[in-house]
């Protein structure tokens, strides 16, 4: 899995600070552009602590994500407030096997061997269908959820906080949890105040919505 932040709103912490200040001021928005950095951070910390997260919708972040499974992207696109552009299985040549192996399978030689043999058979049938002039859009029906794909994702900061609460949780599936943690590491570099306390709900709100008492983070 490769995750890279390739674009984001310039001055990602200034705009929300301006928005928050505007709501309690007679000052015009354009006159708030010179807020000192320390004041921006103080304003953001306060409004986020109060749960007033609408102001951070003014900034967005775009990620380039590659070598993840279709299983992961099926989960990812359930997050509605986002924009997605995904590699097409209709137009991209997928004749070479390229797939994700879950750790529970790769950690055991017997299961890994069986898994890889299955994938080899699947791709042989996929290529056979193409040789028989079956359109790629139909031949792809035999490809597994493990098939690697690439996707670009854009989310605003408020949606990202929600995404991190759900997907950084230890009860999220391992692959999308790995993705969420990598994305969180990326945005913390450019918007440290907004994402200072970001993470699973147990960290952000102090309780477990799953009520999973077997979770090591539950206490």
Is 68 found in the same domain as 164? yes
The CATH number assigned to the domain holding 39 equals 3.30.1360.170
Q: How confident is the model at residue 28 (pLDDT cuts 50, 70, 90)?
A: confident
Residue of 187, 210, 184 whose CA lies nearest to 199: 184
User: What distance lies between CA 151 and its chain's CA centroid?
Assistant: 10
Number of domains, the chain = 2
Tell whether the model's pLDDT for residue 32 goes beyond 90. Answer: no
| Residue 210, in any domain of the structure | no
Query: Is residue 167 annotated as part of the catalytic site, yes or no?
Result: yes
Range of the domain at 119: 90-142
Is 109 found in the same domain as 44? no
- State the pLDDT at residue 211: 86
| pTM: predicted TM-score of the whole model, two decimal places | 0.93
Is 75 found in the same domain as 158? yes
**Cα distance from N-terminal residue to C-terminal residue, the chain:** 31
| Residue 215, in any domain of the structure | no
Is 154 found in the same domain as 137? no
Catalytic one of 70, 140, 158, 167: 167
Cα–Cα distances (Å) from 43 to 39, 159, 184, 199, in that order, read: 6, 20, 21, 21
Is 66 found in the same domain as 161? yes
| Residue 102, in any domain of the structure | yes
- With a CB cutoff of 8 Å and minimum separation 6, the contacts of 41 are 13, 17, 193
Tell whether the model's pLDDT for residue 219 goes beyond 90. Answer: no
Domain boundary (110, 125, 142) is at 142
Is 153 found in the same domain as 71? yes
Instruction: Report pLDDT digits (tens) over 103-112.
Output: 999 999 999 9
Which whole number is the average pLDDT over 71-84? 97
State both tokens at 11. 């001055």
| Residue 213, in any domain of the structure | no
Look at 42 and 33; give whichever has higher pLDDT.
42
Which whole number is the average pLDDT over 38-67? 93
CB contact at 8 A, 8 and 60? yes
Is 78 found in the same domain as 162? yes
Instruction: Return d(Cα 147, Cα 98) in angstroms, integer.
Output: 6
Residue of 105, 112, 94 whose CA lies nearest to 148: 94
- With a CB cutoff of 8 Å and minimum separation 6, the contacts of 129 are 138, 139, 142
Which whole number is the average pLDDT over 70-98? 96
Is 159 found in the same domain as 63? yes
Is 101 found in the same domain as 77? no
Please give the backbone phi and psi of residue 136, each rounded to the nearest 5 degrees, phi first: -55, -35
């Amino acid at each position: 899995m490769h995750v890279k932040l390739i674009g984001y709103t310039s001055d990602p912490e200034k705009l929300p600070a301006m928005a928050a200040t505007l709501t309690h001021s007679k000052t015009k928005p354009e006159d708030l552009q010179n807020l000192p950095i320390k004041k921006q951070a103080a304003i953001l910390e306060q409004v986020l602590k109060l749960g007033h997260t609408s102001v951070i919708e003014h900034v967005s972040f775009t990620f380039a994500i590659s070598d993840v499974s279709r299983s992961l992207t099926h989960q990812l696109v359930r997050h509605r407030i986002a924009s997605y552009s995904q590699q097409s299985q209709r137009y991209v040549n997928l004749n070479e096997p390229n797939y994700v192996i879950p750790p529970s399978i790769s950690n055991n030689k017997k299961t890994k061997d069986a898994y890889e043999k299955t994938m080899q058979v699947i791709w042989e049938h996929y290529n056979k269908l193409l040789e028989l002039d079956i359109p790629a859009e139909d031949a792809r029906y035999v490809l597994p959820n493990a098939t690697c794909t690439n996707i670009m994702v854009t989310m605003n900061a408020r949606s990202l906080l929600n995404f991190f609460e759900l997907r950084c949780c230890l009860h999220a599936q391992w692959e999308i949890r790995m993705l969420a943690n990598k994305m969180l590491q990326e945005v913390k570099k450019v918007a440290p105040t907004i994402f200072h306390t970001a993470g699973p709900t147990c960290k952000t709100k102090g309780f477990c919505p799953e009520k999973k008492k077997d979770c090591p983070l539950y206490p």
